[in-house]
Structure 1
Amino acid sequence: MASKTRLIIRPERCKGCEICLSFCNKQLLSVSNTFNQQGYRPVSLLSHERCNGCGACVLMCPDLALYLEGSVADEQSINEGK
């Protein structure tokens, strides 16, 4: 049985472009009220439980600030030592 994927946000990589917000089919992403070290307001996930792990936001992020933990790609990176 496969484990459920979990969206991980790397706030230090996010530039707050908000592209991912447009692609979340459940409208679960929002802009944070806090700033990251670069002075941008990164995105945050409103509910891990409601996220279906579709990965649309991950695919559209130009800064690779999002990834799915537990996905096939994540498991391959771990197996390759990345």
Structure 2
Amino acid sequence: MSKITFNTERCKGCELCVSVCPKKIIVLSPEINAQGFHPATLSDPGKCTGCGFCFYICPDLAVTVVRERRAANE
């Protein structure tokens, strides 16, 4: 299981993360942050695989990926 979070105040809505998401679940929020940008958000968090593409491409370090490790017997 993985969880992606976006620091909405750091995000400038460049859409680089949107373009690399293999599941196409990253979208720009209709909300506007303090900088006047539409930050990235997930449309369907349950479909996220935690691949990390969004994390690696983000120039503003606005993406955090948390992956849970599976137990050895799973």
User: Could you say which TM-score interval applies, normalised by the shorter chain?
Assistant: 0.7 to 0.9
Give 2:9's match in structure 1, choosing from 8, 12, 27: 12
Instruction: Report the TM-score when normalising by structure 2.
Output: 0.86
The one-letter code sitting in structure 2 at the alignment partner of 1:16 is G
Give the unaligned 5+ runs of structure 2.
70-74
Instruction: Find runs of 4+ consecutive structure 1 residues off by over 4 angstroms.
Output: none
Please list, as runs of the form range in 1=range in 2, the aligned pairs for 1:1-82 lying within 5 A after superposition. 4-70=1-67
State percent identity of aligned pairs. Answer: 39
Partner Cα separation in structure 1 for residue 68 and residue 13 of structure 2: 24
**CA RMSD in angstroms, aligned pairs only:** 1.4
Partner Cα separation in structure 1 for residue 4 and residue 15 of structure 2: 16
Would you say how many aligned residue pairs link Structure 1 and Structure 2? 69
> Who is 1:76 aligned against?
none
Q: CA deviation at 1:71?
A: 6.2
Instruction: Report the TM-score when normalising by structure 1.
Output: 0.78
Q: CA deviation at 1:69?
A: 2.1
Partner Cα separation in structure 2 for residue 16 and residue 63 of structure 1: 10
